[in-house]
Structure 1
Amino acid sequence: MKRPTQMDVARRAGVSRATVSHVINGLSGGRVPISPETRERVWQAIKELGYEPDAGARALRLGKSRTIGLIMPDLYNPHFWENAEGVEQEARANGYRLLLCSMNLNIQYGEDAFKDLVGRRIDALILMGSFVYESEEARNTLIRSLERGLPIVEISDRVTKDYLADCVLSDYRAVAAAAMQHLIMLGHRRIGLIYGVANSSLAEDRLIPYKKSLQAVGIPIDEQLIVHCGPTIEEGYRAAIHLLQKPNRPTAIVAINDLLAIAVLRAAGDMGLRVPADVSLIGFDDIAIANYLIPRLTTAAKDAVQLGREAVKLALARLRDPKRPRQVIEVPARLILRESTAPPSC
């Protein structure tokens, strides 16, 4: 069946096509007198014919698409979905829809997705993760997009002076130090780290405080207690088995995110070890399931939903005032003590 057009609606309502366009887009602004009865006939004709305005054509006419793009780094980590939930909540509350793309922890794919999204008719773009810092191509795309006036907001754990994108900033440095201090105060001296990242520069806001906290109390850094692995839960599981099989295994483990902490919890159980009686465990991100594990996971939280909402607020403010100074909003993280840490048993 042929898709109905504005001309079809105009014939059914007995008006001109221009009148149909004014009614749909609300562009008359009082300059074109359209009676309530005429508006009602147009909307009735639209309903009867099943007419749907073409979003692309409408965006061209109005100069906006009411769409915000979002690039998230990993579809498998619930933490990033919580960020996306906040973005979607705030976008919907302001009459915008979300166009989402995942880079799947692949910098090359992230570059391609970035270039594709900025080439579309989106009103703003939100970037999650730090792939922009790892890719010269992505940085160039970012700079060009900012120069042509596209509002771009980063949700990040670092801020740079190289370009002027607005930023919602939250990092784990202070909280990671507090987590290490908590374990050290409990009496732990052999503390392992599951460092599961897609590339070596990620999660430094956990690695650096881990090392500095040990050094601050005179505990030598044992590189064998730092297990580098990939970011998946399976890779975290294998890393935890490797760490817990050591003859002088750690009495506590810090995993750089809750997904990897869950892998540690499973590995410990498979080896007949109890958390926290035999090994204490701390994660990061406070994903929803963290409070429902056995034991409930001690972790750190950034309030991922709030980060997403703040990012959209910055993007919409930039749309309203393109010349405003660069904005950086900091959202503090916090340590949440639950049931997965205790003094060492020996």
Structure 2
Amino acid sequence: MSIVNLQILKKEAIQLLIQIINTPSISKQENKVSILIEDYLHQYGFYVKRKFNNIWTENNNYSKKKDIQTILLNSHHDTVKPGKNWITDPFSATIKQEDQLIGLGSNDAGASVVSLISTFIYLSSLSELPYRLVLSITAEEEISGNLGVRSILPELGSINLGIVGEPTKMQVAIAEKGLIVLDCIAEGKTGHSARNTGINAIYIAIRDIEYLRSLSFDRKSDFLGFTTLNVTQIQGGIQHNVIPDICSFVIDIRTNELYENEELIDMIQKKIHSKMKLRSLHLNSSFINPMHPIVLKAKFIGINTYGSPTLSDQSTMPFSTIKMGVGDSVRSHTPNEYVLISEIMEGIDIYICLLKDFNF
């Protein structure tokens, strides 16, 4: 492959993003958009592998040394369901004032998808790279689904570094909070409210929730701050004159890298009376050594680093990762979600600048 014209790639990136927006890809319904992206990569001669609605490919312009390092470029093509209050059609790309591209998934994470694809194609057209490069565009990120990137990681081979494309204003998140969700059930005994009999499960839940409200975690991360806990849902009672025997509530915990998930779960279970059921244990906090070569390169070219409070597919990756992408997370999951075309142009340039002369 001869060196690809970068200006042409950038124009194609915008057209590809428009097509992606116009192809509904709510989580678990990403088949059509995955085919769209696969077809685009085929135009540049790449052999694309597929599992479920995940697609991936790799460059072949790398040194064939046995100890070659591998970089994964990853982002997701699924979206949340559109909420109310959209002025435009969320599934129809709209360009406003020449620079603002509006549509569901434009910012989260379509802009990063097309920017990483353009970066991958450009780098794959250069002379020999000192690393193997894998591009994966994956599904079910918005629901942390089992058929997303987690399902293909064993098939990608050994990965040394991951760059996860999410809207970070092209800053580098070198740490990311993890997530634990606990479903809790307080159990009592039914009785007639007029006779004041039975054991009120709501009162048991209230005592537990009051304890959780006062619970604090003293290990403060330099990048992620404190681990936080909130009770975010509660439900109990079947009618006004029956003492409820069941009250359920949900705990949302955002973790830093200083706690193991099992440690936090054990700590909570010992202190509350309600039974707990764990939804998942794999959404870990992420952290990369601030002295890692990719972080040092980012700082060298003037990119800021920070700790991110939001969850991404980083949580499923058992290797060093950074989160870095086009757009602003404040716009994600909002009506009239948008990205600036100029942000995509600049994002492609920054990705290339970060990786073109990079070495481990």
- Tell me the TM-score normalised to structure 2 length: 0.24
User: Of Structure 1 and Structure 2, which has the larger fraction of its residues in strand?
Assistant: 2
TM-score (norm 1): 0.24
Higher relative contact order (CA 8 A, sep 6+): 2
